[in-house]
Amino acid sequence: MGLDSYVSLGRSGLAVSPFCLGAMNFGEDFGTGCGVEEAEEIISRYLERGGNFVDTANFYTNTHSEKIIGDYFAARPGLRDRVVIATKFFTNLHPGDPNGGGANRKAVLAQVDESLRRLRTDYIDLYWLHNYDAATPLEETLRVLDDLVTAGKIRYVGFSDTPAWYTARADVVAAFRGWSPVVALQLEYSLLERTIEGELIPLAEHTGMAVLPWGPLKNGFLAGTYTRERPVPADSRRAGVYGIRPTDAQFDVIEAVTAVAEESGASPAAVALAWVRGRPGVTSTLIGPRRLDHLEANLAALDLTLTRDQRAALDSVSSPALNFPAALNRESAPMLQYAGATVNGRPTSVYPLLLDNPARY
């Protein structure tokens, strides 16, 4: 499988690569990214391998990420229309201005024009709401996004990091009003962060929204450089800046990933990415390389297929604690509903209190 084994973006007709090139590390303005030359080399290699999906946000590396992408494609006439460019709005880039960010009409219209200018393009293929805006009516946000689709400034709408109830309501309102639907969700998802399995992934599967996991390596924890003996690698710039390190429970997962990697002859990063890529509902996975060798290491996951036993081992060690009523609906509901019958290939058991007390009234 390669980057040119394209997949449909949820219920839309847009075809994208199975790995999306995340550009959060393009630019050194936040102290953890790469310079312009290396960023352009990463883009070039990704495109050469057949990739067509690049993702950024208005505030990444203090707006430099969008500028790097815009300059790259502007210098290569005809190439921009061959790729899918996504960016996000929400973050306020104008301190002191209460309308400089968020999802109200004034903010969205200003932010899209600023991103179009930096990206040096006439349109954005996929425009993400980056966070939940508690102060703005949902209808206001959806209407202005639909207006932008009508105006040709954006092609598709996506939500990132929004609550399940809010996202579900957006789906219903957009359908009722005939506005542009939310076609994709960008969510944190990895072997170390699986709680979206409780509400958001079932929502996406039910509505046909694509799921694009971000953070599949969880701050690099799953890349093979962290061990219990070396909780903060000496060469980890991100760890140095943010002071992040895995917990003991996370190291249990990291060590399981390392064991599967050794058994498969693959890198831990490839194992972690292959696990995410194979999860239900996942359409395209975001990778955020800072160096060219990071990109190559990530792309190796496209050629890795985990065995059933390997997946079971990783699933077990990383099993998440989900909010109520996820566990109840997963464990008790089928037993109460089917009473020992096998339905859709899934066997069930009989509710214990009914075994010796069949219906008798």
In the annotation, is 60 catalytic? Answer: yes
Write out the H or E segment, with its range, that includes residue 112: helix 105-119
SS3 155: strand
DSSP lists the bridge partners of residue 87 as: 127
For residue 317, the one-letter residue type is: V
306/286 Cα distance (integer angstroms): 19
Q: Residue 36 has which token pair? A: 């312009």
Sequence-separated (6 or more) residues with CB below 8 Å from residue 50: 2, 3, 4, 17
Other CB atoms within a 10 A radius of the CB of residue 100 amount to 15
Radius of gyration of the chain (CA): 22
DSSP string over 161-221: S--HHHHHHHHHHHHHHTPPPEEEEEEE-BTTB-GGGTTHHHHHHHHT-EEEEE-TTTTTG
Among 60, 123, 156, 189, the one annotated catalytic? 60
Is residue 36 within 8 Å of residue 206, measured between CB atoms?
A: no
The catalytic site residues sit at 60
